[in-house]
Amino acid sequence: MVLMVAALILAPAVGAQVFETTPKSEAVPVGNAQNGKRIFTAYGCYQCHGYEGQGAAAAGPRIALPSLALPEFAAYVRQPAGQMPPYTKKVVADSEMADIYAFLQSRPKPPLAKDIPLLND
């Protein structure tokens, strides 16, 4: 039940309307995915978004294969509209943000639900 309560708090607070139509930026700086993987864990992003950025009910949405372009992605992390804790430039440098972004971009596509027998019971 604790989880459910948390989910409720999150649901309306997500600033989805702000971002969902934002187009992918053309000029994405190339980050270092390997370093991104390391700091995704070290800086605690994994805690709410999962080690793979796959998301977790009631903790944080899926951010692997980000739908936001890097500037919008970074803007959200710096100044979240909802429950997410803010990460300012003081603690996550712009270059590190790009690394995280590159890591999330490098995640494999998940299989389709219809191809997983366990999800079709």
> Total residues contacting another protein (rule CB under 8 A)?
47
- For CA atoms 5, 20, 91, 13, the dihedral sign is negative
3-state helix, strand, coil in the chain (%, to 5): 50, 0, 50
Nearest to 66 by CA among 115, 12, 28, 17: 28
- Shortest Å, Cβ 26 to another protein: 27
Residue 73 touches which of ligand HEC, another protein, none (Cβ within 5-8 Å per kind): ligand HEC
Q: Which amino acid is at 91?
A: V
* Cβ burial, residue 119 (10 Å; 0-12/13-18/19+): exposed
E strand or H helix that includes residue 8: helix 2-13
**Which residues here bind ligand HEC, judged by CB under 6 A?**
10, 13-14, 19, 43-45, 47-49, 60-61, 63, 68, 73, 76-77, 80, 82-85, 87, 92, 100
- Shortest Å, Cβ 56 to ligand HEC: 9
Contacting another protein (CB under 8 A), which of 28, 43, 75, 105? 43
Residue ranges that bind another protein, judged by CB under 8 A = 1-5, 7-9, 11-13, 42-44, 46-48, 50-52, 54-59, 62, 64, 82-83, 85-88, 90-92, 108, 110-113, 116, 118-121
